[in-house]
Amino acid sequence: MANFGVRFSFDSSLFNKRNFSSFSFSYYHFYNSITGKDSANSNFVPYSSFGENSVKSILETFYSLLNDKERRLITDTDSFHWLNEAYSIVQNELNLVNREYFVDTTQAIATVSGTQEYSLATDFSRAINVYNEDKEVNVNSIDLKDVSHYNYNTSNTPMYYIRGSYLGISPTPTSVVNYTLRYVYKTTAVSSYYENIDVPNNNFYCVINFMLHKAGIKLGKNDSMNYLKLFNADIERMKITSFKQNDNLDSWSISDSANV
């Protein structure tokens, strides 16, 4: 008779820094000791519990707001699509007022003599800064329309420009120079229960209102627009509270009671 068991495993290479604050997840698979064969791995399971901002917790809250009849008409595919649509809107709206929150780790670019343009990372959205590591100075940007004229003088101070999915250096490099690009990454999507909705100040709750709005449209409910209004109001509050991140440094200004 074959003996069956359960193996629990952990693989840190599967975790992404944007979705996990610590390596506290595992998965299991079934094992046949006679044949030596394993089943497919299960979904990842946290050692403690899913956080409130996890996809699993958000979906559970969303489903709890539907009655049994409505729940049968809403698929998991619907829910993930609406959640990702809401998450994309949240990220794009936040990027309008806060350029720091979704800034990725840097991309290193080493120039090649005679090569002016270099491929950007696939998740590149907007440049924040380009830094010359060799000279330890920031690099200024140049408008694309001015590049051709600026290229004529090879002694000009190097400047950078963005053209589609490429970063260009003008004038065209004649030697190896090491640059570091810091950038805002594209909006991310979630696809698994264990991933988290990452926004500042616990503003992830707002996505549930958007999901209820989309569900209301599918179910033909008359109050679906009310949830969209709540979602938009949540977005505006998030933008106000997240307008600026600072180090809480002291500041000085003229007092309202000053006689000047």
Distance CA 55, CA 16 (A): 15
239/232: higher pLDDT: 232
Confidence of residue 13 (pLDDT cuts 50, 70, 90): very low
In sign, the C-alpha dihedral spanning 36, 41, 45, 47 is positive
In sign, the C-alpha dihedral spanning 217, 222, 224, 229 is positive
- Judged by average pLDDT, the poorest of 21-25, 41-45, 101-105 is 21-25
| pTM over the 0.75 mark | no
Mean pLDDT of the chain: 82
The predicted-structure confidence for 167-177, as pLDDT tens digits, reads as follows: 999 999 999 99
Distance CA 88, CA 84 (A): 6
185 beta partners: 124
- Judged by average pLDDT, the poorest of 1-5, 166-170, 215-219 is 1-5
Domain ranges of the chain: 4-46, 55-100+187-241, 107-185
55 beta partners: none
What's the average model confidence in pLDDT over 164-168? 96
Helices (H), the chain: 55-64, 68-73, 76-97, 147-151, 206-219, 224-241
DSSP per-residue codes, 123-187: TEEEEEEEEETTTTEE--B--GGGHHHHHT-TTSPPEEEEETTEEEEESPPSS--EEEEEEEEPP
Distance CA 191, CA 214 (A): 18
The predicted-structure confidence for 183-206, as pLDDT tens digits, reads as follows: 988 888 888 888 889 888 888 999
pLDDT at site 12:
45
Instruction: Return the structure tokens found at 227.
Output: 């949830």
Angle between helix 224-241 and 76-97 (nearest 10): 40
